[in-house]
Amino acid sequence: MQPCSREMQAMNSLQDLQINVHTPHADFLEQMLSTTSFPASSSSSSWSDLNPQDNNAAAAAGFHHHEILASNLRQQQQINGGHDSNPFQAMKMMMQQQQQQQQMMVAGFGRATVAATAAAGVGTHQGGGEGSMQALFNSLGYGSLHQPQASFGSDSTPEVNHSQVPTAAAATPGKPKQKVRARRGQATDPHSIAERLRRVRIAERMKSLQELVPNANKTDKASMLDEIIDYVKFLQLQVKVLSMSRLGGAAAVAPLVTDMPFEGGGDCFQTSGNGGSLPRNSNGNRTPSDNESLTVSEHQVAKLMEEDMGSAMQYLQGKGLCLMPISLATAISTATCHSRNPMVSNVNTNSTGVNVSHLLLQSSGGDGSSSPSLSALTVQSATMGNGGVDGAASVSKPLD
């Protein structure tokens, strides 16, 4: 792979740099300057090629390394006060941390970090904290390394993505008096690192929230939070309103009540045509054996319904079932409306931690069909896996 070879080349150059770090200070600068130009010239183009690829890789791995580098550089900049020393320090940081991480990643990291933190440095210089944030995010590789939003008036960061090192090499000869602060263990400052991590994670969560909330214009976090708050309030208000409006509709729910006699009949029963023929259940193709129990209960329910709806409902409720029209079930599951007006019984048994829900649909076609037909669909699945019932058995049972 071509990029890899170039990466290795860059790595080698960086390794040379690293070796030079351990020499005393006097020679340090000269060696840095001499070797800095080398990778710049040879691998700047390669780094520009690597840029899009590495970003994904960078995003995938070595998150902490990146963060540490970022925090290192941020502090470096704050201490030194001069941002054009940043690339120099960045190079040093990269070399120091190189041994600890995968070498393949560091190149992309280093570049991304350098780019990001240089941008971050400039961003903070200009008082825009958001720019630094953006720079960090961008360099974390949300697809590609975007240009940081903060405008860079400084000389070393006009072309952040591609010519970081050459400009660094160009800038550093101009400043021979460098404060070489060997900030080795940046982990000594865990607070900033932890805070940075925390902030990034919060931003990720905000992004996912932004997708949920309809008005998704992420201008900044404060407005996004306000949107979220308003949306939650709106949803809660909607629930309240719907529960008030249910009062009128609840009257129609009355037929589902236990003690309502079958002859009384609500809307769902009236249009069911021959209610008396409901209990005529004939066994269709029922494949799994554990559905036999359901068959039995269905038969019992049917028998009970024959005599008295109330007792049938009581029986169902004793089992933890409820009855609802199949059209409602379909309406709930899909957005489509109903053509028939069937009866549906939902079975939801909560037994000792295993939540097995059976969906029993019994439809009686009253509209336009001469003979009522019942078709049952049984779906059985275990929702809360307590080692409970497995699989889903769906059976369609036609009836005459």
Partner 1 sequence: MNKYNPPRMNPSSLRSRFATRFLRSLSEINAQKPTASSSSPTEIFRRYRRIKVAADKSMAYSVRSRRTWSRAMLWKLRTRPCGRRSVKTSTIVRKTRHEKQNKNTTTATTTGEDGVVSGVEADELRELVPGGEAMDLYNLLDETAHYIKCLTTQVQVMKKIADFYSP
Site for partner 1 in 321-340 (CB under 8 A): 322-334, 336, 340
Q: Is 213 in the site for partner 1 (CB under 8 A)?
A: yes
Q: Confirm if 20 and 28 have CB atoms less than 8 A apart.
A: yes
Among 232, 283, 292, 390, binds partner 1 (CB under 8 A): 232
User: Could you say which residues in the range 57-76 bind partner 1, by CB under 8 A?
Assistant: none
Q: Is 250 in the site for partner 1 (CB under 8 A)?
A: yes
Cβ-based burial of 388 (10 A; exposed 0-12, middle 13-18, buried ≥19): middle
CA distances from 56 to 46, 66, 181, 296, 306 (A): 16, 13, 32, 58, 66
Q: Is 79 in the site for partner 1 (CB under 8 A)?
A: no
User: Could you say which residues in the range 111-130 bind partner 1, by CB under 8 A?
Assistant: 124, 128-130
Among 220, 290, 367, 390, binds partner 1 (CB under 8 A): 220
User: Could you say which residues in the range 1-60 bind partner 1, by CB under 8 A?
Assistant: none
String marking each residue 301-320 x if it binds partner 1 according to CB under 8 A: ----------------x--x
Nearer to partner 1, 64 or 184 (CB): 64
Cα dihedral 211/147/193/64 (nearest 10): 80
Nearer to partner 1, 166 or 365 (CB): 365
Nearest distance, CB of residue 231 and partner 1, angstroms: 7
Q: Confirm if 280 and 253 have CB atoms less than 8 A apart.
A: no
Q: Which stretch binds partner 1 (CB under 8 A): 23-31, 163-171, 220-228, 300-308?
A: 220-228
Helices assigned H by DSSP within the chain: 2-21, 25-60, 63-80, 86-98, 103-125, 129-139, 164-174, 190-212, 221-253, 267-270, 292-307, 309-319, 326-333
Nearest distance, CB of residue 178 and partner 1, angstroms: 26
Nearest distance, CB of residue 244 and partner 1, angstroms: 5
Cβ-based burial of 341 (10 A; exposed 0-12, middle 13-18, buried ≥19): buried
The closest of 283, 286, 268 to 378, measured between CA atoms, is 286
Nearer to partner 1, 4 or 257 (CB): 257
Instruction: Give phi and psi for 374, each to the nearest 5.
Output: -115, 130
How many C-beta atoms lie closer than 10 Å to residue 224's C-beta?
20
User: Could you say which residues in the range 253-272 bind partner 1, by CB under 8 A?
Assistant: 253-254, 256-259, 267
CA distances from 287 to 12, 39, 389 (A): 67, 70, 16
Q: Is 244 in the site for partner 1 (CB under 8 A)?
A: yes
User: Could you say which residues in the range 340-399 bind partner 1, by CB under 8 A?
Assistant: 340, 342, 346, 348, 355, 357-359, 361, 363, 365, 369, 373, 375, 377, 379-384, 392, 394, 396, 398-399
Nearer to partner 1, 52 or 284 (CB): 284
Structure-token pair, residue 395: 């059976």
Q: Which residues pair with 358 in a beta bridge?
A: 347, 380
